[in-house]
Structures are given as structure tokens and as C-alpha cells.
Chain A
């Protein structure tokens, strides 16, 4: 241990402000980078899932519409032949 007491450790031989400022700002920047990277990964997954659900829904609607149109045309041809 290079320091006699905890207050001497904080003082850093008179350079405490500069040393702790450097370590504090660096830790904050690195923490922000890690958090934003992890959150960004979750966001990417969520966005892909949302788009996937939207596409699935569109496909279903299109399918239903096609089916009803087929029904209508069948009806009308029936009516004409009758």
C-alpha cells in the first residue's frame, strides 16, 4: 500500500482532483457504452419482432381478402346461371 490513510489515498499527493476526475469520467463513458450496447441489442431484436408480426398480419389479411373475393365471384356466377 502506497498510502498511510484513506484520506491520503483520496488526496493522491495533491493531485486527487485530476486523478479521480480521470477515473470517474472514464468509468462513466465505459459504463454508458456497455449499457447502450446491451440495450441496443434488445432494441434490434424487438424491432425485428415487431416488423415480423406486422408482416404476418398483412399476409393474413391478404389471404382472407382473397378468400372472400373467391366466394363473391362464385356467388355471382351461380346467380347468373340460375
Chain B
């Protein structure tokens, strides 16, 4: 049943597959993000309590949920690489870490810029904010470990162990607003079945969210291709690919 997946275990096949996705992903991400952000900034209604500062929500929530989603993806890749010795999984985990770090930084920054006018402070050491900051440090640790070893298999193993230990942080971030008293508001979207938002606020959010997911997939594909090339640099298919690409640029 899963046999169609087998060819993608080959680095060459998945390199070219990721390459074919790039134009589609960039076009769709640009489309969704431009619709979503214009809608969010100019056409969505202002919040009845928070006024127009609420528009930061359209960046903050997608970035925060993606920061956790990318971490989960990285953890699954690390687990796959550790249990089944599947080397491409290490390449994808290494590709995800910097993207996740950037989106965690965006979530933290937009949160601070939203917190200043709403709570009166840029930062507070409460459960949600602190656990999200720890997520950023986990990402930075994983990036550092991936580049700390000349031997990429060893690097993947070390980074994978840190990634898997850090998974404990994900439920802490998710449920921090329920387990502890906090300034951070409860969730708006993920109440299953009934989001507590009106449709004219929800639609631009969905456009932004899907747009950011496409953008993240695009950047991960670009970085995955670089990781695959540098990990397979002595393979014949990489040698021919590099020489033909170089000849094309020199012309």
C-alpha cells in the first residue's frame, strides 16, 4: 500500500521532487499571503476591545502555531532517523530548524509588540512567554549541534537527541494558558468545531495561516535541497548535477 513512497527514500529522487515543488509553492504562498495580509490590515473589522492592535493577531497566531508545528515535524524526522537510520530524515530535520527558529522569533516579537499596548509591558516571565522563549533556545541548540560536527551522521544524532528531549516543551506551551494564571489570553481558533470569531475575522486569518504554511514548506524545500547536496557531495549524480549547473551559469 505504501510502496509508492519507496522511491522518495532515494536522495536524488527527493531532491528533484522538492525542486519541482518550488515554483508551485512560491506562487501559491505569494497569492495566499498577499490576499490574507491585505484583508487582515485593511478590510477585517477592528476588535471591539482591542481596536486595530488586534491586527497583529494575523501574524502572531500563525507564527506561534507554526513554531510548534515545525518543531513537531523536526521531532518526527529526528525519531525516524534514529529508529530506522534513515539519513534523509536528518537532512530534513536540519532544514527545518532555522525556519522554526525564525518563526519562533516572529511569534515572540509580535507578541511583545502586541503586549505593550494591551498589557502595558513588552515582556513578562509568565508560563506561555517563557516556554516559547525556551522553544527558541531549543531551536538554536539544534542548529548549533547540526553545524558542530564535521561528520553529519554524528551531528544528526546529537541534534536528534536534543530535539526529542525538547518535545516535552510542546504540551507545556500549548496548555500553559490553562495550567497557570497568565496575562496571555486563551485560544481563539483551536476550540474544536466552534471558533470564537466572526467569519469576517476568521477568513483573512485562514488565508494568512495557509499562506504561512506554504511559505514555510517552500523555505524548508529550498534548505532540504542544499542539505541533500552537501551530504551526498561525493555521489556521481551530485557531481554531474553540479557540473551541468556550473556550465549553465557560466554561459
- Interface residue ranges, A against B (CB under 8 Å): 1-3, 9, 12-15, 18-19, 21-23, 25-26, 29-30, 32-34, 37-38, 40-41, 44-49, 51-52
Q: From residue 85 to 134 of chain B, which have CB atoms closer than 8 A to chain A?
A: 98-99, 102, 105-106, 109-110, 113-114, 116-117
The secondary-structure label for the interface of chain A is: helix
Q: Which of B99, B110, B226, B246 contacts A33 (CB 8 A)?
A: B99
The secondary-structure label for the interface of chain B is: helix
Q: In the complex, A38 Cα to B222 Cα: how many Å?
A: 7
Q: Which of A2, A12, A22 contacts B60 (CB 8 A)?
A: A22
A25 near B243 with CB under 8 A, answer no
Given contacts A30-B215, A44-B230, contact A19 B53 (CB under 8 A): yes
Given contacts A21-B113, A22-B109, contact A48 B53 (CB under 8 A): no
Q: In the complex, A38 Cα to B19 Cα: how many Å?
A: 12
B117 near A13 with CB under 8 A, answer no
- Interface residue ranges, B against A (CB under 8 Å): 37, 41-46, 51-53, 55-56, 59-60, 63, 98-99, 102, 105-106, 109-110, 113-114, 116-117, 215, 219, 222-223, 225-226, 229-230, 233, 238-239, 242-243, 245-246
Q: In the complex, A47 Cα to B234 Cα: how many Å?
A: 12
A18 near B113 with CB under 8 A, answer yes
Known: A14-B51, A48-B230. 12 other contacts (CB 8 A): A1-B42, A2-B42, A2-B44, A2-B46, A13-B53, A15-B51, A15-B53, A22-B56, A25-B109, A26-B106, A41-B222, A45-B245
Q: Which of B42, B56, B63, B110 contacts A3 (CB 8 A)?
A: B42
Q: Which residue of A has the minimal Cβ distance to B107?
A: A26
Q: Which residue of A has the minimal Cβ distance to B247?
A: A49
Q: Which of A2, A13, A51 contacts B43 (CB 8 A)?
A: A2
A48 near B59 with CB under 8 A, answer no
Nearest CB on A from B66, distance (A): 11
A12 near B52 with CB under 8 A, answer yes
Given contacts A14-B51, A22-B109, contact A45 B242 (CB under 8 A): yes
Q: Which of A12, A15, A23, A33 contacts B59 (CB 8 A)?
A: A23
10 residue pairs A–B, Cβ–Cβ below 8 Å: A2-B44, A13-B46, A19-B52, A22-B109, A25-B106, A30-B215, A38-B222, A45-B229, A48-B233, A52-B242
B53 near A44 with CB under 8 A, answer no
A13 near B102 with CB under 8 A, answer no
Given contacts A2-B45, A13-B46, A29-B106, contact A37 B219 (CB under 8 A): yes
What residues of chain B lie closer than 8 Å to A32, measured between beta carbons? 102
What residues of chain A lie closer than 8 Å to B114, measured between beta carbons? 18, 22
